[in-house]
Amino acid sequence: MAKKKKIPEKYQRWIDVRKEYHLSHVHIQMARELGMNPQKFGIIANTKQEPLKLSLPEFIEEVYFKHSRKRRPLFCTFSVTIISS
């Protein structure tokens, strides 16, 4: 019986954030490229108490556009990275 490989902790945090805040792989990749901390997403995603804030996916897209002048990455590598490691 083959053993399942355990996902490294640094990737597991991003997987948990993706599930909790309903983000796509592209949003996770953009956030990683920007150097965002996955543990701080709860502070950023506070739209219920502050309705004037952008939602978390919109916020990530806006910051990514300001930083790189691109709307989206050319290709998504987040899921490929986890599968190959």
Q: Domain ranges for the chain, please list them.
A: 22-84
pLDDT at residue 20, as a whole number: 95
What's the pLDDT band for 49 if we cut at 50, 70, 90? confident
At 25 the three-state DSSP class reads: helix
pLDDT above 60: residue 26? yes
Would you say the pTM of this structure is higher than 0.75? yes
pLDDT above 60: residue 59? yes
CB under 8 A, 24+ apart: contacts of 31-39: 31/60, 32/78, 33/64, 33/68, 33/73, 34/60, 34/63, 34/64, 34/67, 36/60, 38/13, 38/14, 39/13
Query: How many angstroms separate the CA atoms of 81 and 83, rounded?
Result: 6
Q: Mean pLDDT throughout 27-37?
A: 94
